[in-house]
Amino acid sequence: MARSSPPSTLPPFEPVTLTELRTFWMRYPNDDIRRLILEVQRYRTKLKEIDRLYQTTQTAWHDNVGGELVALNWLRSVMFEEKFRIG
C-alpha cells in the first residue's frame, strides 16, 4: 500500500529481542500477530543483507576509484545505529 504522507518520528522504545519474539510466537498464535513477528525478523535479516551489499560496494569503489563515497558512509552510520539499537 502506498504511503500518502512522510513517516512520523517514533517515540523512543526498547527494541524487541529475538527471545521476546519467540515468546510472542508461542504465546500468541493469532495469524496477524505472527505475521507482524515475521515482518520484524524479515526486516532484521534484510539489514544484514544490506550490510553485506554495503561492504561489497565500498570495497569495489575503493579498489577501482579510491577513497570512500559520502553516501555510503551515511548508509553505514544509519545501519550501525540500527544494529546497535537492536543488539
Q: Tell me, yes or no, whether 44 lies in a domain.
A: yes
Degrees, nearest 5: CA angle 72-85-18: 115
Which ranges of the chain have pLDDT less than 50? 1
Q: Tell me, yes or no, whether 23 lies in a domain.
A: yes
The phi and psi torsions of 7 (rounded to 5 degrees) equal: -65, 145
Domain that holds residue 30: 18-86
Q: Tell me, yes or no, whether 7 lies in a domain.
A: no
Q: Tell me, yes or no, whether 11 lies in a domain.
A: no
What is the model's pLDDT at position 5?
63
The pLDDT tens digits for 30-52 are 999 999 999 999 999 999 999 89
Q: What is the pTM of this model?
A: 0.70
Please tell me what DSSP assigns to residue 70: H
What is the model's pLDDT at position 37?
98
What is the model's pLDDT at position 83?
84
Domain total in the chain: 1
Report, in angstroms and rounded to the nearest whole number, the Rg of the chain calculated over CA atoms.
17
